[in-house]
Amino acid sequence: MQQLPLGWRWPAQQRFETFFVGVNGATVDLLERVAAGSETAWVFLHGPEGSGRTHLAMAACQAASAAGFSAQYLPLAALAAAQDGAIRGFGGSDLLVLDDVGAIAGIAAAEHALFDLYNRCRAEGSMLVFVADAPPAQLGIVLPDLVSRLSSCTQAPLRSLDDAQRREVLRERAEARGIALDEAVLDFLFTHYARDLGSLGALLDRVDRASLAAKRRVTVPFLRQLLREQRAGAADEA
């Protein structure tokens, strides 16, 4: 897979420097060293939904590319039901990041394809980062040899942020866009919307666009109007 310019290939908002580290300093440091080529360990990154797994996966690819390495990102959830050749077709890069490993659990052809890809990348000397929502033994993978290979990787647990930390992340991301979020606005957002960082980031995108279009500050009355319009639109679609 050929590399594209960084601005085209890796999302600008998903970088190590934009990740709120919190209690995950050791895990982030490990991934940074792997992406820089200074750490030879193969990594199995696992954490609950909303903990920032995909953010770090993309960040590792971007950092590796910036360091002069070739990098590939493979979303296994998109390939789990595909022919095993779709998985076997990857490899040959300095860094390969495989996201949503649990998506292939119980799919025999995909499990064997990932096992073969693992062995090939090991022989080629590639750096590998596996990403999932749980440790290898808890994913439901049937192939014992694959579970063994994944378990032999350096395990990098990722813990979710608490509400106070999520509020700080949202506030910082908003400030980077020139949006001021006061405590009342944050209270409203955390009461009426999902609190995981992925959902909050998508929400901030919508709020930013809506406030620019309306030429209004982000206030609680503005958010109430936005929520009413969103619900009305959903009802019309139904």
- Picking from 157, 182, 198, the residue at the C-terminal end of a domain is 157
* pLDDT score at 237: 62
Q: Which residue has the higher pLDDT, 37 or 237?
A: 37
Structural domain includes residue 107: yes
Number of domains in the chain: 2
5 pLDDT exceeds 60? no
Confidence of residue 137 (pLDDT cuts 50, 70, 90): very high
Q: Which residue has the higher pLDDT, 78 or 171?
A: 171
* pLDDT score at 202: 80
Q: If you search the block for the tokens 């919190």, which residue do you land on?
A: 22
16 and 86, same domain (yes or no): yes
* pLDDT score at 91: 79
Q: If you search the block for the tokens 């999932």, which residue do you land on?
A: 132
Confidence of residue 2 (pLDDT cuts 50, 70, 90): very low
155-203: pLDDT as tens digits:
999 998 888 888 888 898 889 888 999 999 999 988 888 777 777 878 8
DSSP string, 115-147: HHHHHHHHHHT-EEEEEESS-GGGTT---HHHH
12 and 87, same domain (yes or no): yes
Cβ(60)–Cβ(1) under 8 Å?
no
Q: 0.85 cut: is pTM over it?
A: no
56 and 107, same domain (yes or no): yes
113 and 33, same domain (yes or no): yes
Cβ(121)–Cβ(32) under 8 Å?
no
* pLDDT score at 3: 38
Query: Cα separation of 163 and 40, whole Å?
Result: 35
CATH at 233: 1.10.8
83 pLDDT exceeds 60? no
What mean pLDDT is predicted for residues 98-118? Answer: 93
* pLDDT score at 20: 83
Sheet holding 71-75, edge to edge: 71-75, 95-99, 127-132, 43-46, 154-157
Confidence of residue 4 (pLDDT cuts 50, 70, 90): very low
What mean pLDDT is predicted for residues 84-113? Answer: 88
81 pLDDT exceeds 80? no
94 and 212, same domain (yes or no): no
- Least confident stretch, 66-80, 109-123, 223-237: 223-237
Residue 38 lies in domain: 6-157
1 pLDDT exceeds 70? no
* pLDDT score at 233: 66
104 and 34, same domain (yes or no): yes
Kindly give, in sequence order, each residue whose CB lies less than 8 Å from that of residue 95, ignoring residues fewer than 6 positions away. Answer: 34, 35, 60, 61, 64, 69, 70, 71, 72, 126, 127, 128, 129
9 pLDDT exceeds 60? yes
Structural domain includes residue 1: no
Main-chain dihedrals φ then ψ at residue 44, nearest 5 degrees: -115, 105
Token pair of 237 as six digits: 């679609």
Token pair of 137 as six digits: 């033994």
- Picking from 107, 133, 157, the residue at the C-terminal end of a domain is 157
